[in-house]
Amino acid sequence: MTSVDLPAWAAVAVGLLALAGAGLSFLGAVGLCSFRTFYERVHAPTLGATLGMALIVVASVLFFTFVEGRFMPRELLIGVFLTVTTPVTLILLARAALFRDRTERGRDETAGDA
Amino acid sequence: MIRALFPHPVLALGLFATSLLMSGSVEPPSIALAAVLALATPQVMRALDAQTIRIRSPKAVLSLAGLVLVDVLRSNWAVSAIILGRRKQQRRSGFIHVPLDLKDRYALAVLAVILTATPGTLWVEYDSATGRLLLHVLDLIEEDEWVHLIKTRYERRLMEIFE
């Protein structure tokens, strides 16, 4: 990355965006560990899958627009596919947890899990 | 004739754009490859007997996209604040039931993606017979308020788009 002539402001912007995105993903991971119940935990990683992902994608688009000297936002595809596929996993996990609660514990879901 | 060539126009357009982005160029070979994909793949969908998506109101698509963008930003902020330990005492999470009038499967799929991708709400279960959706909410203040929010903000616009 030494031969790349990135303007200083662009380098700073890319760095800040990537760091902010990584920070949000990390916060999601912290939430995943610190929440108490399964259903609460499922909410935390969506931080990294939405705004965290978006910030990193924008940083990447900005970086490669300067490096390649043209606008080809390939990374947008990552955003689209991540947005479409993450809920599939999360809904599957939530339904599995619900099934377990209903069969093993005989718990009514409307009673809440807090 | 047009329908035979393009049984799923939205899918064809999406594949065309995806292929161009993947090749990373707008040179003639990339365009040719994208065109082949856009023409051939929807023919495969015939075997799956998938319904064609009909978007009735492009304006509603834009307004929904804007709303979702704002809501995702807002709820990212809200969930970050919760994880960082603010409002630890009075927060309560739980399940709510939302009676949905939406019947179109694509519209329901979009709603599931929106609700699950938004931090703080999680689509858990939908019963197509009764139209009742079970939703888990991280920061549950008022159940009626959530139901009202989903029905007026998302469901109404999705009905404009798909039904």
In a domain, A51, yes or no: yes
pLDDT at A77 over 70: yes
Tell me the per-residue pLDDT of A1-33, one tens digit each, with 9 for 90 and over: 555 678 888 899 999 999 999 999 999 999 999
- B133-151 burial: b if 16+ Cβ within 10 Å, else e: bbbbbbbbeeeeebbeebe
Chain B partners within 8 Å of A72 (Cβ): 21, 24-25
State whether A83 and B117 contact (CB < 8 Å).
Answer: yes
Q: In this predicted structure, what is the pLDDT of residue B16?
A: 92
ipTM: 0.81
For chain A, the domain total comes to: 1
Question: Between B18, B119, B136, which is nearest A77 by CB?
Answer: B18
In a domain, A17, yes or no: no
Query: Which domain range does residue A71 map to?
Result: 32-104
Q: In this predicted structure, what is the pLDDT of residue A114?
A: 37
In a domain, A65, yes or no: yes
State the average pLDDT for chain A. 86
Q: Which residue in the block uniquely carries the two structure tokens 């994208």?
A: B34
Nearest chain A residue to B15, by CA:
A77
Nearest chain B residue to A109, by CA:
B95
**How far apart, in Å, are the Cα atoms of B156 and each of B51, B77, B111, B118?**
21, 25, 11, 18
Give the number of other CB atoms < 10 A from CB of residue A104. 8
pLDDT at A86 over 50: yes
Query: By CB neighbour count within 10 A (0-12 exposed, 13-18 middle, 19+ buried), where does A47 fall?
Result: buried
In a domain, A14, yes or no: no
In a domain, A71, yes or no: yes
In a domain, A78, yes or no: yes
* CA–CA gap between residue A26 and residue B114 (Å, rounded): 22
Give the number of other CB atoms < 10 A from CB of residue B116. 26
Question: Between A76, A84, A91, which is nearest B123 by CB?
Answer: A91
pTM of the model: 0.84
Q: In this predicted structure, what is the pLDDT of residue A113?
A: 43
